[in-house]
Structures are given as C-alpha cells and as structure tokens.
Amino acid sequence: MNVDWLLTHSPALLIAIPLLAAFLTPVIDRINKKARDAFVIIVLIIAEIIMIALAWDVFTGSAHIYTMGASNPTATIPSQAAVPIRIVLEVDGMGAFMGLISTTVSLAAGFYSLAFVKKETGQGRYYTLLLLMLVGMLGMEFTGDIFNLFVFLEVLSMASAALIAYRFYYGDAVEGAFKYCVVSSLGALMVLFAIGLLYGQYDLLNMAALAKVIEYTTLDKIALVLLIAAFAMKCGAVPMHMWTPDSYTVAPAPITAMLVAASQASLYALFRICFSLYGLTLDVTTVGIIIIALGLLSMFVGVTMALPQKDIKRLMSYHAVSQTGYMLLGVGVGLYLLGKSDFDTYGMAAMEGGIFHIINHALYKGLLFLTAGAIFYKVKTRNLNEMGGLAHSMKFTTIFFMIGALAIAGIPPFNGFASKLLIYESAYHVSPILSIIAMLVSIITLASFVKVFHSAFMGPPMENAEAGEVPKSMIIGMAILTVGIILFGLFPGWVVSNIVHPAAQALAAQAGYIGSVAGGA
C-alpha cells in the first residue's frame, strides 16, 4: 500500500472510510464507549490526512478521476459505450478545496463533540450521523454524476435533520429539524425533477458528458431554474433563508458548525451547476445578475435581521445568511463576467474572493458557533441578556470568540479581511454600489458582534453560572479552527495563489472539466 496507490484511490477511499466507520460505530458503541470515541476521532484524522494529500496532489497536478467499478480508475468510458455510464468521481481544484473545508470542520466538530455530548443518550447514533454528514458532503463535492449528487444531497440532509433534532427533549429542536426536513426534501425533489428533465433530453447523467452536449433549450432553462432555486434554498440565501436561523439555533453547536459546511456543499453544487454543467451556454449576464441579486439580498437582509436578535446562536445564524451573500456576490460577479473581456482581470479576482470567502466563513463561523456552544455549555442559556462577565472565567473561549468576531467583520490581519478585500475590489468594477453595500454590511456585522462581545463577555461575573473553562476536547476543537483562521490571515497571498486560484480556475475552465472525463470538449 504505497503513496501512489493511496492517491489514486483516495477519492473513493475518502467516501468509503467514513461510510464504513459510520456503520461500525454502533457496533463498537455496544462494546466500549471510550473505544468508540477514539475510533471516530481516528477516522476523522485519517480522512483529514488523506484529504490534504489528495488536495495537494490536485492543486499541484491535475484533477483526479475515479471510475467506480471499472478495470482502471481513469477508464471513464467503457469500451462498449460512447459515453460515461459508470459513476465517476471527479476531484478537481474546486472539489478538493471544498473537501478540505468539510474534513477540517468535521474534525473540529468531532473533537468538540467528545465533551459536548458526553451527558446525552444515544451517542453511538450521534457519531454515526456525524460521519454520514461527512460522507454526504464529500460525496456531493467529489461526484461527477448528477444523480449521485442528488443521492448524497439526501444523505447529507437526512443526517443533518436527524442531528438537528438530537436534543429532542428541548421540543424546539424537533420543530427546527422538521422545518429543515421539509425544506430540504422539497429542494431535493426539485433537483430530482431537474435531473429527470436533463436525462429525458440527453440520456446522460454524467455532468461532464452532459456539459458537452447541453444546448440551453427551454427545458434546460426550467431545469436550471429548479436547480438554482433548490440549491440556493439549501445554502440559505434570502428569500429562501427562513429555515436557516431556526435549525442552526437549535442544533447542538458542533452540528451547527457542520451545517455551515453542509450549506457550503450546496453552494458548491450551485456553482458547479452554473459553471461546469451549463457554462457558457448560459445567458451568463442574466444568471450572473440573478446570483448577484441573491447575494446582495442575503447580505443585507441577513445582517439587518441579525441586529435585533437576543439569542446568541440565532444572531450568528443570520450572520451566516449574510456571509453566504458575500460568496454569492463574489462568484456571481465572476459568472457575470465569464466569457467577457474583463474576466481575466476582475472576474477571476471576484471568483477568488468568493471562493476564498467560503473557506474563511467555514472556519470563523464554525468557530463562532463552537464558542456559542461553549457558552451554552456553561451558562445553559442562549439569551444574551441573561449572560455577562464570561471573560472572567472562560479565558480561552473569550480569545477564540474575539478572533472569530474580528475575522467575520473583516478586520486585518484575520482571514475575513483578505477575501472581503478581493470581493470589494472586483465588484467595484461591475458597479460601485455592490462594493458600497458589501462594506456597509461589514460595518454592521462588526457592530453586531461588538454588542455580543459586550453583553456576553464583559461586565461583572455571573453569579449562577458554572465557573471555569470548558473541557479540553472542546478547546481542541475550537483551536483547530482558530489556527486555520490565523494562518490564512497571515499568509493570504500564499493561500490565494496555491489553494484558491486552482479552485477558481477549475470552476472557470469548463473545457478542462469536460475533457478529463468525457474526452475532447
């Protein structure tokens, strides 16, 4: 089992290992609880290591193709057929980039969960579902088959819905989970309907092969509308954001961090559909403007709804909606300029900004949700008016919260600044108003987090709260994400040119995506 073998098979291994672990966890759970915890953490670490190796290989080399069940992983088209009919995993720069986010957030959430759910019942199932969420995310990000995308979307949604309702004795948790379940299953059915429309016309399910022949007929337009609406709903863009605050608020904190990554997997699917499946056959101007409008609406509505919130997690959830807007804006500008003469100058920068913001957001919003969970763990309330003076007893949590809050507000030298600057600069060339709104939203975000910081951490110590810091494993979980934030903030240039640029390039270059699977664009 050498490194080459591992790299060749890593796309399939990354899905197979967490899936196998998910089914083994209940079995190990019956034998020994400690062994189960160790097993889950080891699997998450293995997934992270394989993912980093795979991502490095993709960023420095070319996309990885993996054909399930073929005699050779790169034999996408069987000898008797003219088109790819097997399930093909295609890990290009963008897929590897998203995979890094998913595995990192899962690792942090896994560590954090060790202490966070220690007193709950049914932990075996909790970890099973957590691993299934990871499988769903990685599957969505790696797959080159549009029906497979639907299947993994459903795996992800069902695991998330069950985990949102994990603390069912709160009642409102089940309410949030039901809402999430209704929204995500309707969204997924729309995706399936769109897949049916595409299959009915072209007899193909492979995205690269579809992209080669797609013509943008009326039916394709209907399919596109369904796909964009469904995935925008799943990533929590305004006006389909109503489920986001409800389900983010009630989910256990590590799951909320995972849900952020899960929303971004949907965002990835949205971009993949627009750029790689339809590409230049699209009316890029109209669709670009629609995505930019969705982004602006999300940014503005999200942040204004966040201001009056008293529930700390609900407030952060609205900020998550608002930050999703930045990604939509950045990549929307890229789509708007796709194929135009300005693309290489501003369009690429906008896409890099939007894509860089995805990983930044996963890190700092994940961290912020984890600190909110740490606060809840100690003071047993999410109401900002009932807490205060936590800086006296929770030193680490305070520092982590400050780093997260400064990063989300886009204060240098943290990572939020780097990606927001890229978005401001490039969006300015499309219309100055875009940049002005984006900056305004950023300022309101800062104001909102100053309020949270003041009411939660400042002031005299609370009398009725449990004193002391949260358990070590929760600190490790938060520290993983904090290290990421600081590194990305200190070396944004290196990150953009080595990680973000290949991802943006992979999205923008449709011919490369098609060529590596279906041969000749």
Partner 1 sequence: MSEKTNGNSEGLSPIVKVISGMIFPFIMIFSFYVIMHGHLTPGGGFQGGAIGASAIVMLIVAFGARHTEKRAGEEKLSLFESIGGTLFILVAILGFIMAATFMSNFLVGSAIFGEIPPFGSNPGILNTGGILPILNFAVGMKVIGGLSAVVLAMALVSKEDD
Partner 2 sequence: MIYNIPFFAVIILIAVGMYAVIFRRNLIKIAIGITIVESAVNLFLITLGYREGGVAPIYTNLPANVVIPGGMVLPVPQALTLTSIVIGVAVLALMLSFVIRIYQYYGTLDSKKVRRLKE
Q: Where on the chain is the footprint of partner 1 (CB under 8 A)?
A: 9, 12-13, 16, 19-20, 22-24, 26-27, 30, 66-73
Reduced DSSP (H G I as helix, E B as strand, rest coil) percent helix, strand, coil of the chain, to 5: 80, 0, 20
User: Which partner from the list partner 1, partner 2, none does 61 bind, CB cut-off 5 to 8 Å by kind?
Assistant: none
Determine, following the binding rule CB under 8 A, whether residue 129 of this chain makes contact with partner 2. no
The two three-digit tokens of residue 514, written as one number? 């098609």
Determine, following the binding rule CB under 8 A, whether residue 154 of this chain makes contact with partner 2. yes
What would the 3-class secondary structure string for 342-365 be? CHHHHHHHHHHHHHHHHHHHHHHH
User: Which partner from the list partner 2, partner 1, none does 250 bind, CB cut-off 5 to 8 Å by kind?
Assistant: partner 2
Angle between helices 284-306 and 312-337 (to 10 degrees): 160
For residue 61, give the amino acid letter: G
| Closer by beta carbon to partner 1, 177 or else 480 | 177
Angle between helices 123-142 and 146-164 (to 10 degrees): 150
User: Which partner from the list partner 1, partner 2, none does 71 bind, CB cut-off 5 to 8 Å by kind?
Assistant: partner 1
Determine, following the binding rule CB under 8 A, whether residue 381 of this chain makes contact with partner 2. no
Q: How far is the CB of 443 from partner 1 (least distance, A)?
A: 49
- For partner 2, the binding residues in 245-264 under the rule CB under 8 A are 246, 249-250
Establish how many alpha carbons lie within 13 A of residue 395's alpha carbon, considering only the half-sphere containing its beta carbon. Answer: 1
The answer to whether residues 409 and 365 touch, using CB atoms and an 8 Å cutoff, is no
Contact track, partner 2, 181-200, x by CB under 8 A: xx--xx-xx--xx-xx--xx
Q: How far is the CB of 489 from partner 2 (least distance, A)?
A: 35
The DSSP bridge partners found for residue 383 are 311
Q: How far is the CB of 93 from partner 1 (least distance, A)?
A: 22
| Closer by beta carbon to partner 1, 19 or else 261 | 19
- Please give the full DSSP string across 447-484, using - where no structure is assigned: HHHHHHHHHHHSSSPPSSSPPSPPPHHHHHHHHHHHHH
Q: How far is the CB of 17 from partner 1 (least distance, A)?
A: 9
| Closer by beta carbon to partner 2, 177 or else 331 | 177
| Closer by beta carbon to partner 1, 71 or else 341 | 71
d(CA 213, CA 83): 11
Given candidates 20, 46, 52, 174, which one binds partner 2 under the rule CB under 8 A?
Answer: 174
DSSP state letter for 295: H
Given candidates 172, 222, 345, 467, which one binds partner 2 under the rule CB under 8 A?
Answer: 172
For residue 209, give the amino acid letter: A
Given candidates 46, 75, 151, 487, which one binds partner 2 under the rule CB under 8 A?
Answer: 151
The DSSP bridge partners found for residue 88 are 67
Interacting residues of 517 by C-beta distance below 8 A, sequence separation 6+: 65, 76, 84, 88, 90, 144, 206, 208, 209
Binding site for partner 2 (CB under 8 A): 147, 151, 154, 158, 161-162, 165, 168, 171-172, 174-178, 181-182, 185-186, 188-189, 192-193, 195-196, 199-200, 205, 246, 249-250
